[in-house]
C-alpha cells in the first residue's frame, strides 16, 4: 500500500525560487496499520494539479490515502 503525504514548502526553501510550492512524498506501508517508510520517492510541485499527475504516474492504482501537512488549504 502506498500513501501520499503533501506538505507546503517554507518560504525560504530553495525550490520556491523555481515556482515550486508543494512537496509530495510517496510512503510505502507493508500492511494496514503498519509503519510507513519513505524510500526517496517524491517531487516538488507547483500546484495540486502537478501533485495529482505525479501520484497518478507513480502509483495509479496503489494510493490509498492523501494527507496534507502545514496549512496547505491556506495557500493560494
Question: Which pLDDT tens digit goes with each residue over 19-38?
Answer: 999 999 988 888 888 888 88
How far, in whole angstroms, is CA 6 from its chain's centroid? Answer: 3
How far is the C-alpha of 42 from the C-alpha of 23, rounded, in Å? 7
Pull the grid cell for residue 18: 523555481
Burial 15-51 (b: 16+ CB within 10 A, else e): beeeebbbbbbbbbeeeeeeeeeeeeebbbbeeeebb
Residue 14 reports pLDDT greater than 50: yes
Walk across the sheet containing 36-45 and list its strands. Answer: 36-45, 22-29, 2-8, 63-69
Q: What is the mean pLDDT of residues 3-28?
A: 92
Amino acid at each position: 500500500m502506498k500513501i501520499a503525504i503533501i506538505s507546503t514548502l517554507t518560504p525560504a526553501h530553495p525550490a520556491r525560487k523555481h515556482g515550486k510550492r508543494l512537496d509530495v512524498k510517496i510512503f510505502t506501508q507493508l500492511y494496514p496499520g503498519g509503519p510507513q517508510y519513505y524510500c526517496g520517492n517524491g517531487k516538488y510541485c507547483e500546484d495540486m494539479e502537478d501533485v495529482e499527475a505525479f501520484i497518478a504516474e507513480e502509483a495509479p492504482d496503489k494510493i490509498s490515502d492523501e494527507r496534507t501537512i502545514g496549512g496547505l488549504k491556506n495557500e493560494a
